Structure 1
Amino acid sequence: MKLKIISKTVWILSIVSLFTDVASEMLYPIMPIYLKNIGFSVVLIGILEGFAEAIAGLSKGYFGKLSDLKGKRVPFVQFGYLLSAISKPIMGILPIPIWVFISRTLDRFGKGLRTGARDALLSDEANPETKGTVFGFHRAMDTFGAVLGPTFALVYLQFYPENYSFLFLLATVPGLFAFFASGLLKEKTRPIPKKEEKVSILAYFAYWKDAPGIYKRLIVGLLIFGIANSSDLFLLLLLKTKGAQDSFVIGIYIFYNLVYALFSLPIGLMADRFGLVRTLIFGLFLFCSVYAGMAYADTSFEFYLLFFLYGLFAAATEGIAKALISNIVPESDTATAIGTFAGLSSISALLASYLGGLIWFYSGAKFMFLFSAVICLGVIVYFARYSDAFDLKES
């Protein structure tokens, strides 16, 4: 890899994402434990996560469109990271359900505010032949923060077991550092549309009408997969229901993120060489294998193997999907296209987490994981059918 592929802007965005993930992931692996302790049922956890992701998705679309219309990226990125930072202490100070909803909503709103503009900045720093590498590098740095965060949480809980509230306050520190680091970003001059448009929270869905056909095919497949891909909290909750200690749950989550971080850049390089859509299909196959395996896994070795494969799945899908989207739409529509996908996928996320919670509650965890695996298998067949068309567009 040539070092010049990774520009100063990519470095800054990656470092900012790293510290933001340190803050977020200090809390994520203990979240199902914390929520259960303050009275959340598995169904309510599903509703909370689905609602939070819906807020993130809908706001991604709105602010992505607004970023394109204003011709600006940096203010959206900076303010989005600030909101996520200040949301952390709310949950620890007031551990009651309504404030948990407010905190998660504020955090996800911040994510929605920054994501479209940030991904458009990353896309601007690459060309079609290096998108996988740039997005893969960013995902690697971002996910390395997801290794450091839970590691800190694990050490903290060794000294202060079950003292979760203060951990939420500590998570504010790296979050604020990320916000201040985002001040190093410089805005580039971009053409602003001559015709002033008003943007409503759902206006960006109109982009679907004029979007390229290949974009629509891609999004349809990703949305169907989204229904199968419920919150990762269910994976961690499964470990707890099988008797795992807090330290094991956090440790295996660290392991998953370490695999994700280590393989994001190599898989991004592989995607640039062998094709983004082929890499995406490979990732979906891994997801299918993991969820089918989770339905039957019982030993520590099996769980570690499955979480290793789950890390590879994450590395082969999230950044790759965004790189693929940015390659098949005009540069002026990048934030809108990614935001539209995020807005639509928020509906899938809401359905996935709510549906996952209901299936778990009424039919058990095993059936929930098998259901997701079967849906994913259908998506693999769908993408395999259109793989030649995607590859033709990529070339």
Structure 2
Amino acid sequence: MNIISRTVWILSIVSLLTDVASEMLYPIMPLYLKNIGFSVILIGTLEGFAEAIAGLSKGYFGKLSDLKGKRVPFVQFGYLLSAISKPIMGILPYPTWVFLSRTLDRFGKGLRTGARDALLSDEANQETKGTVFGFHRAMDTFGAVLGPTFALVYLHFYPENYAFLFLFAGIPGLLAFFVSGFLKEKTKPVRNVEGNVSILSYFTYWKDAPSKYKRLITGLLIFGIANSSDLFLLLLLKTKGAQDSFVIGIYIFYNLVYALFSFPIGLMADRVGLIRTLLIGLFLFCSVYAGMAFAENSIQFYLLFFLYGLYAAATEGVAKALISNIVPESDTATAIGTFAGLGSISALFASYLGGIIWFYMGAQSMFFFSAILTFGVIVYFARYGNALSLQKS
């Protein structure tokens, strides 16, 4: 059996190109925002708001994709929006336009994510979900290695000249849109629905969702409150005296670990169990955030970011594989989108709360809070995780 199909390859290459564009900007984002006058609270608010837009739109368009029985148009247009959003921030470095750019980028992500993950799910069975999602995450994250590497080389020659990177990021973004044109639509049944689908109507899915889905999502949403934006990790390095090159370099290292381990951890998850793998990932997150409260030198930071890469490889793709195994195939995009919509509330609260705790109580308190809350989620899944079998309810 050819587990990695043509569709999986195309989606993975598209994600790789998109991440080249996005991730060459991500590690410099807190540096750029502080450079144009954003406070740590405003940075947290921006990221929380952007993720809220992404999450709410994921739910809406995920449901719409299921109802219309189409995936590819949502994927293609979503990547196009993200591509054209990048140059805006470099051309117009003002708070209103920065918010607009991040909102457009996250809206594009919301438009495509549910449909894209449903396409991936359709290319796998219950025994290969971890492998397929793990391979996609590996390719996606390899782009997150190439992008910051380019940024690091560029800033070596042109220190603090950030604007050009935002303009250049539009090129790989548009290439991703072009490659997405090779996707072929699979015929899906169209549901008979009266009226229009509202932006919040997908929340009704929670009422009828399988109990296993509700139990899984409850734990993931609580974890979402602990998991504030990664920008805070990079900002912590900067506040401890790290140079721009070190901040970008360690972010590249983290993504390299994430990329290299996503596929083998996905294979492992199909063998040892998705829930067990998720628990390992959460334990790694807890350890990293507790450790960041005390880390002071480069060796400690590299060790923690290595573990952080393993955490990411063991959770994101695995969580989606779990969701797609629990719900009926016809509801895959809606189920993932609903999780994203609810998760957007957690993301908004997490980033805003993280900024508030940091501002008033210090960075150490913020990282301790995340570690303690995540430990509670580990206890929750350790107790109830066995109920989340791979069989659909």
Into which bin does the TM-score normalised by the smaller protein fall? over 0.9
Q: Report if the CA contact (8 A) 1:9-1:125 is conserved.
A: yes
Partner of 1:156: 154
| Matched-pair identity in % | 85
Asked if 1:82 corresponds to 2:95, the answer is no
Partner of 2:9: 11
Residue type at the aligned position of 2:349? L
Q: Post-superposition shift, 1:159?
A: 1.1
Using the alignment, how far apart are the partners of 1:9 and 1:391 within structure 2?
A: 27
Q: Secondary structure at the match of 2:167?
A: helix
Asked if 1:191 corresponds to 2:186, the answer is no
Q: Secondary structure at the match of 1:277?
A: helix
* Partner of residue 238 from structure 2, selected from 214, 237, 240: 240
Q: Post-superposition shift, 1:195?
A: 3.7
Residue type at the aligned position of 1:42? V
Asked if 1:370 corresponds to 2:359, the answer is no
* Partner of residue 256 from structure 2, selected from 240, 255, 258: 258
Q: Post-superposition shift, 1:393?
A: 3.8
Q: Report if the CA contact (8 A) 1:146-1:254 is conserved.
A: yes
Partner of 2:222: 224
Partner of 1:296: 294
Asked if 1:381 corresponds to 2:390, the answer is no
Q: Secondary structure at the match of 1:184?
A: coil
Partner of 2:337: 339
Partner of 1:354: 352
Q: Post-superposition shift, 1:391?
A: 3.5
Q: Report if the CA contact (8 A) 1:275-1:394 is conserved.
A: no
Using the alignment, how far apart are the partners of 1:56 and 1:362 within structure 2?
A: 28
Residue type at the aligned position of 1:185? L
* Partner of residue 118 from structure 2, selected from 120, 133, 139: 120
Asked if 1:26 corresponds to 2:42, the answer is no
Using the alignment, how far apart are the partners of 1:121 and 1:387 within structure 2?
A: 26
Residue type at the aligned position of 2:21? A
Describe the superposition over 1:333-370 as per-residue Cα deviations: whole angstroms up to 9, x where unpaired.
Answer: 00000000000000000000000000000000000000
Partner of 1:286: 284
Q: Report if the CA contact (8 A) 2:325-2:390 is conserved.
A: no
Equivalent positions of 1:97-136 (< 5 A) are 97-136=95-134
Equivalent positions of 1:208-223 (< 5 A) are 208-223=206-221
Using the alignment, how far apart are the partners of 1:292 and 1:202 within structure 2?
A: 36
Partner of 2:174: 176
Q: Post-superposition shift, 1:279?
A: 0.4
Partner of 2:45: 47
Instruction: Give the TM-score normalised by the residue count of structure 1.
Output: 0.98
Q: Secondary structure at the match of 2:181?
A: helix
Describe the superposition over 1:24-54 as per-residue Cα deviations: whole angstroms up to 9, x where unpaired.
Answer: 0010000000000000000000000000000
Using the alignment, how far apart are the partners of 2:204 and 2:279 within structure 1?
A: 28
Using the alignment, how far apart are the partners of 2:45 and 2:193 within structure 1?
A: 40
Structure 1: give runs of 5+ residues left out of the alignment.
Answer: none
Residue type at the aligned position of 1:242? K
Q: Secondary structure at the match of 1:6?
A: coil
Using the alignment, how far apart are the partners of 1:210 and 1:14 within structure 2?
A: 32
Using the alignment, how far apart are the partners of 2:356 and 2:382 within structure 1?
A: 31
Q: Post-superposition shift, 1:392?
A: 6.2
Q: Post-superposition shift, 1:196?
A: 3.9
Structure 1 vs Structure 2 CA RMSD: 1.0
Q: Post-superposition shift, 1:387?
A: 1.8
Structure 2: give runs of 5+ residues left out of the alignment.
Answer: none
Q: Report if the CA contact (8 A) 2:327-2:392 is conserved.
A: no
Q: Post-superposition shift, 1:149?
A: 0.1
Q: Secondary structure at the match of 2:186?
A: coil
Q: Post-superposition shift, 1:194?
A: 2.9
Q: Report if the CA contact (8 A) 2:83-2:173 is conserved.
A: yes
Q: Post-superposition shift, 1:394?
A: 7.8
Matched residues, number:
393
Describe the superposition over 1:64-91 as per-residue Cα deviations: whole angstroms up to 9, x where unpaired.
Answer: 0000000000000000000000000000
Q: Post-superposition shift, 1:98?
A: 0.7
Residue type at the aligned position of 1:249? V
Partner of 1:145: 143
Residues 111, 392 of structure 1: alpha-carbon distance in 2 compared, 3 angstrom cutoff: closer
Residues 394, 316 of structure 1: alpha-carbon distance in 2 compared, 3 angstrom cutoff: farther
Q: Secondary structure at the match of 2:38?
A: coil
Q: Report if the CA contact (8 A) 1:69-1:197 is conserved.
A: no
Instruction: Give the TM-score normalised by the residue count of structure 2.
Output: 0.99
Residue type at the aligned position of 2:208? D
Q: Report if the CA contact (8 A) 1:151-1:251 is conserved.
A: yes
Partner of 1:58: 56
Q: Report if the CA contact (8 A) 2:141-2:258 is conserved.
A: yes
Using the alignment, how far apart are the partners of 1:226 and 1:241 within structure 2?
A: 24
Residues 191, 158 of structure 1: alpha-carbon distance in 2 compared, 3 angstrom cutoff: same
Using the alignment, how far apart are the partners of 2:193 and 2:239 within structure 1?
A: 56
Q: Report if the CA contact (8 A) 1:275-1:391 is conserved.
A: no
Residue type at the aligned position of 2:108? G
Using the alignment, how far apart are the partners of 2:367 and 2:209 within structure 1?
A: 34
Q: Post-superposition shift, 1:193?
A: 1.1
Q: Report if the CA contact (8 A) 2:55-2:340 is conserved.
A: yes
Q: Post-superposition shift, 1:388?
A: 1.5
Using the alignment, how far apart are the partners of 1:240 and 1:393 within structure 2?
A: 46
* Partner of residue 96 from structure 1, selected from 94, 97, 114: 94
